[in-house]
A and B are shown apart, each in its own frame.
Chain A
Amino acid sequence: MDLLVTLAVLTLQIVLLFNVVMFIVLALVWLERKVLGRVHQRMGPMRVGPHGTLQSLADGIKLLLKEDLAPSSAERFAFLLAPLLVFAPSFLVFVAIPFTRDIVVRNLALGLVYFVAVSSLSTVGMVLAGWSSSNKYALIGAARTAAQLISYEIPLVLVVLSVAMLGGTLDLRGLVESQGQAGPYVLWQPLGALIFIMAALAEVFRPPFDIPVAESEVLGGPMIEYSGMRWGLFFMAEYGNAFAFSALFVLLFLGGWQGPLLPPILWFLLKTSAVILVFFWMRAAMPRLRIDQLMGFAWEVLLPFAFLNLFLTGVVQLYRWPLWSLSLLSLTGLLALGYVVERGRVTWRRSPSLAS
């Protein structure tokens, strides 16, 4: 009897979570289109529902009604499996994300490790998609995907570890609560926050790191041969991941749901929306980097500084120096990062001048 009740509660939680994730994804798609439209000096969706709010729903229905095509020379089983392998991790990470102190499916004691590990499973799905599509562009895209994801995983994990060292726990809810006493970690680890943002952008394949799935180059990369809801799964995975990583940034660096006056869930959503808007802003304003430039950036710039961040945090923790010293050291590291990037602008030569 208890087992049945537990199973029923779990199923309910999962269904509820799935609906929440779907709703978040649809809302994000609409928000991105509106924000991008406004940057482009146009309105974005306006017709379907008030201010286009039902546009995502209409697109979802359209995708469901589309013909399900597969190339005849594709590896059938892998082709059908790949979108699921990409979507499932982006949904599974939400299990461990605490929206507020009480709104969480299951606050795992190793929540942070779980998050990072599960989110990197989508790599397998992308590569499988690219390889099984029997399309050269998909193969190129898949190779780029794998390279990029692996490269940016390491700085991400190092930064996350530094935060865990500060908070003394791997439990996400515990980390937020420790920020309640110490203050948001972005103040103490600005270097880590910056590295996290960049690594997160690359993990989610958002511009400027979206060359594996770029439309104007490899025509969508691994997703090229998918149509209808299978493609929709890739799409939802991208937005789900974007939200998940933004939420993680908020939990790790911005103090989660904490804040005066407003209810915690509102704080959480506001902070996450702010981070997501930064993601959208980057998309609107930046062209994309080439894959070798991207990977050079990860291995030559982000990785050493992630190590530096970890080292500084370790030193401060070991010698029990006050937290503001970590902040100072981290800011110095940030300036050093800026200097390295400035010097590494190997392509920045003086612009040509006018001649008569």
Chain B
Amino acid sequence: MLIKREFETVEMPINVGPQHPSTHGVLRLVMTLDGEQIVKVDPVIGYLHRAVEKLSENLRYQNIPHLFDRLDYVSAFNNEWPLAMAQERLLGLEVPPRGEYLRVILCELNRIASHFLFFGAFGHDAGTATSWMYGFRERERIQRLFEMVSGYRMMHDFVVPGGVREDVPEEFVPALRALLPVLWQGLGDCNNLLTENEVLVTRTRDIGVITGEEAISYGLSGPSLRASGVREDLRLTEPYSVYPDLDFDVVLGQHGDSYDRYWVRMQEVAQSLRIVEQALDRLPGGLVCTPGLPKYPKLLKLPVGETYARAENPRGEFGVYLISTGGDRPYRLKIRAPSFCNLMALPRLMEGHYLADAIMILGSLDVVMGEVDR
């Protein structure tokens, strides 16, 4: 498969991005190619750097979720949750059960929507525009529900310390129940299109392999880590919220290649649908937010302390390291973005592959540049 070394070839430096249909945002890969083979690749990031961490030090706590929504802009609910969790830990708040269940429902729905977007983009990189349409069709259905809940399709600003901002409208639960079988059907359609598609398997099997130990050393998380066979899912290994009461499987891959990363995500959609069904069945009544909490726009003051709160985002472990020295603004807010850590492994994954494989590897990592650059 490789050219023999009797040829004399010239290595060609090439720029993939920052404008490229397949780099999932503004990412620049400075590659050196020998024919079609990648000799060296160096990712250059920072095109979307908006200094969220620095800005947060000057914003009151109720304003920070606006910025956090725009980090991993594909799954906004999941970004707000660790921030709210960090504040709750410092304040010692207990979230009422309805609030917890609503958080779980909305975040798992967002995980499903995010994975459908991944499906669309991945298939599009492989060559089918059809997968783009199928993935986004399902995502649109979920986004209509989100609009019902928070008024926004994407940037919700809805999860607050103590629960969620307000209760869902009456038509939400019946609409969600009606939507679930449609989503199962949509998942089936998507699986029929690509999951056993021989061309896709040929393109992604044994491409971008990383072993479990290396993945841990690189700090990979989420489906990219689980595809290498490492059983790390924050919802099970460090359970938070009501996840211990819900019954779902952790999806593991075996080979750690791009196909497994794709396959794990598609199976996770099925698991998330199970979670949403169970959470809907168990959804209690009552308050959605801790009573007695100062309502916005009054000030929220946190006591002195620091904490590292983390949640399982669709892309991996989203961590918020919050240091508070009293007052209504954080002293330091560090965002541990999963795509940032996943992208670090990219040169290692692309070693020895071809240019066409590089596109598939990048697609299988499912990075969102908003949280890479913050």
Contact = CB atoms under 8 A, between A and B. Distances in A.
The reply to whether A and B meet directly (CB within 8 Å) is: yes
A43 B127 CA distance: 21
Contacts of A356: 249-250
A76 interface: no
Contact of B252 (A218, A348, A355): A355
B356 A217 contact: yes
A351 B205 CA distance: 10
A8 B212 CA distance: 75
A130 B198 CA distance: 31
B255 to A, nearest CB: 7
B63 interface: no
Interface in A255-302: 284-293, 296
Interface in A290-327: 290-293, 296
Nearest to B122: A287
B252 A352 contact: yes
B203 A207 contact: no
Contacts of A287: 123, 126-128, 194, 197, 199-200, 203
Interface residues of B, number: 47
A106 interface: no
A219 B21 contact: yes
B288 to A, nearest CB: 32
Contact of A284 (B128, B199, B359): B128
Contacts of B134: 40-41
B193 interface: yes
Contacts of B133: 40-42
A210 interface: yes
Given A41-B137, A352-B253, A355-B252, A136 B123 contact: no
A348 B203 CA distance: 11
Nearest to A355: B252
Nearest to A139: B12
Given A216-B127, A352-B253, A354-B249, A208 B354 contact: no
A292 B251 contact: no
A169 B129 CA distance: 42
A175 to B, nearest CB: 33
Interface in A337-356: 345, 347-349, 351-352, 354-356
B124 A284 contact: no
B12 A290 contact: no
A352 B263 contact: yes
> By DSSP majority rule, is chain A's interface helix, strand, loop, or mixed?
loop
A27 to B, nearest CB: 21
Given A287-B203, A352-B263, A354-B249, A36 B255 contact: no
Contacts of A211: 127, 356
Contact of B21 (A42, A207, A216, A354): A216
B214 interface: no
A352 to B, nearest CB: 4
B36 A291 contact: yes
B130 A288 contact: no
Contacts of A187: none
A350 to B, nearest CB: 9
Interface string A15-26: 000000000000
A59 interface: no
A214 interface: yes
A218 B264 CA distance: 28
Contacts of B254: 352
B49 interface: no
A36 B1 CA distance: 34
Interface string A37-55: 0011110000000000000
A290 B125 contact: no
Nearest to B231: A355
A345 B260 CA distance: 17
Nearest to B1: A292
Given A40-B129, A140-B36, A216-B125, A288 B20 contact: no
Contact of B359 (A36, A39, A216): A216
A215 interface: yes
A337 to B, nearest CB: 15
A354 B267 contact: yes
Contacts of A352: 252-255, 260, 263-264
A291 to B, nearest CB: 7
Contact of B130 (A40, A140, A208, A290): A40
A355 B250 CA distance: 6
Nearest to A211: B356
B22 interface: yes
A41 B199 CA distance: 22
Nearest to A356: B249
Contact of A215 (B12, B21, B199, B202): B21
B201 interface: yes
A14 B14 CA distance: 44
A41 B206 CA distance: 33
A290 B199 CA distance: 9
Contacts of B267: 354
A9 B133 CA distance: 50
A345 B198 contact: yes
Interface in A80-137: 136-137
Contacts of B33: 140
A289 B249 contact: no
Contacts of A215: 21
Which of A41, A218, A354 is the most central at the interface, judged by chain B CB atoms within 10 Å of its CB? A354
B373 interface: no
Interface in A184-240: 207-208, 210-211, 214-219
A208 B127 contact: yes
Contact of A351 (B129, B202, B203, B263): B263
B1 A289 contact: no
Residue from A39, A41, A211, A216 whose CB has the most chain B CB atoms within 10 Å:
A216
B237 to A, nearest CB: 13
Interface of A: 36, 39-42, 136-137, 140, 207-208, 210-211, 214-219, 284-293, 296, 345, 347-349, 351-352, 354-356
5 contacts: A40-B130, A40-B133, A207-B128, A293-B203, A355-B249
By Cβ-Cβ distance, the 7 closest A-B pairs, closest first, are A287-B126, A347-B205, A288-B127, A40-B133, A287-B127, A352-B254, A290-B356
